[in-house]
């Protein structure tokens, strides 16, 4: 996944002017200052537990998430509706062994009303029963495992991010077709399996043929030459891959060095070229195309204002991880404007009434089954001056949770 700097591992383990104007008048701009409409809720204090990595390989993602959270609150007077927000930040770390106790402490010792964040899907799944027993609302702003908001979802767990297969499926649909052939590569772990399956199923449904699939060992593979040799010999017209962090850097660089980039176009889930990994990939990434629900290059008023505010405040470019946490704050603001209380049932009901989030930097989106139905974009790495950007090539349309 994309990060502000390169790590050994990544995620899991894993927008229109008219809508912006409407949001300004109806519910308050997510970027601007005070809300234009008085809240209908009672108000008072609300304590939010922000669960983000503060140490370990996921730290850059946690930094992006914290920046966006703080910026949203700064621009809205520190309130959700009439509720004054106190944030208690807990270190998720790298694994459930650190993430689950962090959530437990927030619920039991810190007595938070709401939980937000979580990068690692294993952590999100690990706290599911704990959150349900406590009847507390959890808004997941990154973890991508399908099961988090799948068929057996808890009514208290919502997400403002994505599912792994949801990101890759629109790409498979776009690239598939009679006579089209692809080779799929993803590391051998849950996120890789879900992402690869999302692409393969959609590609085949669109009429394409997957001529080969590879599952290199996760976190252990440094030399991809055996995989690249298979791709070259397969006769595939294109390659799909899911990689993040240091693996994304290594694979993209070796793909170019092996001479495949000029012969067999490389496609992937957007984390392949998101954030700090793109800078590390350098010119090897130019021309790589990915699917994701956000890029800094989206041409809408909300994104332009958000990006400007974020860069002005932090002298950094926002990532999808920042946007997902910004939107977590945004939907909580909407929910707390109408909630009948801070209990999990009341908040879950209020979340269900949020409707279309029409002032998001990613573009308008809405909850379906507690997970976003949102647009995905085909992005292509281009060099603009000395900077590399994920330029928008095509709107791939809306997608809801898949898998």
Residue 176 burial by Cβ neighbours in a 10 Å radius (0-12, 13-18, 19+): buried
**Three-state DSSP class for residue 391:** strand
- Does the 165-292+376-399 domain belong in CATH 3.40.50.2300? yes
Dihedral over alpha carbons 61, 64, 65, 71 (to 10 degrees): 180
Per-residue confidence in pLDDT tens, the chain, 403 aa = 433 333 333 333 332 322 322 333 333 344 443 343 344 557 899 999 999 999 887 888 899 999 999 999 999 999 999 999 999 999 999 899 999 999 999 999 999 999 999 999 899 999 999 999 999 999 999 999 999 998 889 999 999 999 999 999 999 999 999 999 999 999 998 889 999 999 999 999 999 999 999 999 988 999 999 999 999 999 999 999 999 888 999 999 999 999 999 999 999 999 999 988 899 999 999 999 999 999 999 999 999 999 999 999 999 999 999 999 999 999 999 999 999 999 999 999 999 999 999 999 999 999 998 999 999 999 999 999 999 999 999 999 999 985 4
Distance set, CA 103 to CA 48, 116, 316, 324, 386 (Å): 11, 10, 29, 19, 42
- Are 300 and 16 contacting, i.e. CB atoms less than 8 angstroms apart? yes
Residue 223 burial by Cβ neighbours in a 10 Å radius (0-12, 13-18, 19+): exposed
Q: Report the alpha-carbon distance of residue 6 to residue 259 in Å, rounded.
A: 24
pLDDT tens track for 298-347: 999 999 999 999 999 999 999 999 999 999 999 999 999 999 999 999 99
pLDDT tens track for 61-107: 899 999 999 999 999 999 999 999 999 999 999 899 999 999 999 99
Do 17-162+300-369 and 165-292+376-399 show the same overall fold? yes
Domain edges within the chain? 17-162+300-369, 165-292+376-399
166 membership: H or E segment, kind and range: helix 164-175
pTM recorded for the entire structure:
0.87
Distance set, CA 129 to CA 90, 104, 134, 152, 341 (Å): 19, 11, 9, 11, 22
CATH of domain 17-162+300-369: 3.40.50.2300
CA 28 to chain centre: 24
């Amino acid at each position: 996944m994309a990060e502000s700097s390169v790590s050994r591992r990544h995620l899991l383990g894993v927008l229109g002017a008219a809508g912006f104007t409407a949001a300004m008048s109806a519910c308050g701009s997510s970027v601007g200052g005070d809300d234009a409409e008085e809240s209908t809720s009672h108000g008072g204090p609300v304590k939010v537990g922000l669960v983000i990595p503060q140490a370990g390989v996921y730290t850059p993602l946690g930094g992006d998430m914290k920046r966006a959270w703080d910026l949203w609150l700064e621009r809205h007077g520190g309130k959700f509706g009439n509720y004054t927000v106190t944030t208690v930040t807990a270190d998720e770390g790298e694994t459930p062994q650190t993430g689950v106790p962090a959530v437990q402490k927030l619920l039991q010792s810190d007595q938070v009303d709401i939980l937000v964040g979580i990068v690692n899907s294993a952590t999100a799944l690990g706290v599911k029963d704990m959150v349900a027993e406590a009847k507390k609302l959890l808004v997941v702003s990154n973890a991508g495992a399908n099961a988090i908001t799948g068929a057996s979802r808890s009514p208290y767990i919502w997400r403002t991010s994505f599912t792994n297969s949801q990101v890759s499926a629109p790409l498979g649909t776009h690239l598939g077709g009679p006579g089209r052939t692809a080779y799929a590569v993803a590391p051998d772990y849950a996120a890789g399996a879900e992402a690869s399956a999302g692409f393969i199923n959609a590609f085949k449904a669109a009429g394409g043929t997957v001529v080969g699939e590879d599952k290199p060992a996760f976190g252990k593979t440094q030399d991809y030459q055996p995989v690249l040799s298979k791709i070259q010999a397969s006769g595939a017209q294109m390659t799909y891959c899911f990689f993040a962090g240091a693996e994304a850097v290594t694979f993209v660089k070796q793909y170019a060095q092996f001479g495949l980039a000029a012969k067999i176009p490389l496609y992937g889930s957007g984390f392949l070229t998101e954030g700090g990994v793109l800078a590390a990939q350098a010119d090897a990434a130019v021309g790589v195309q990915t699917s994701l629900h956000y890029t800094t290059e989206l041409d809408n008023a909300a994104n332009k204002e958000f990006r400007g505010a974020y860069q002005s405040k932090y002298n950094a470019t926002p990532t999808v991880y920042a946007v997902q946490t910004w939107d977590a704050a945004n939907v909580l603001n909407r929910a707390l404007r109408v909630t009948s209380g801070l209990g999990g049932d009341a908040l879950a009901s209020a979340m269900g009434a949020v409707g279309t989030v029409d002032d998001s930097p990613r573009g308008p989106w809405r909850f379906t089954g507690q997970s976003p139905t949102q647009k995905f974009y085909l992005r292509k790495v281009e060099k603009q001056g000395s900077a590399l950007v994920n330029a928008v090539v095509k709107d791939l349309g809306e997608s809801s949770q898949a898998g």
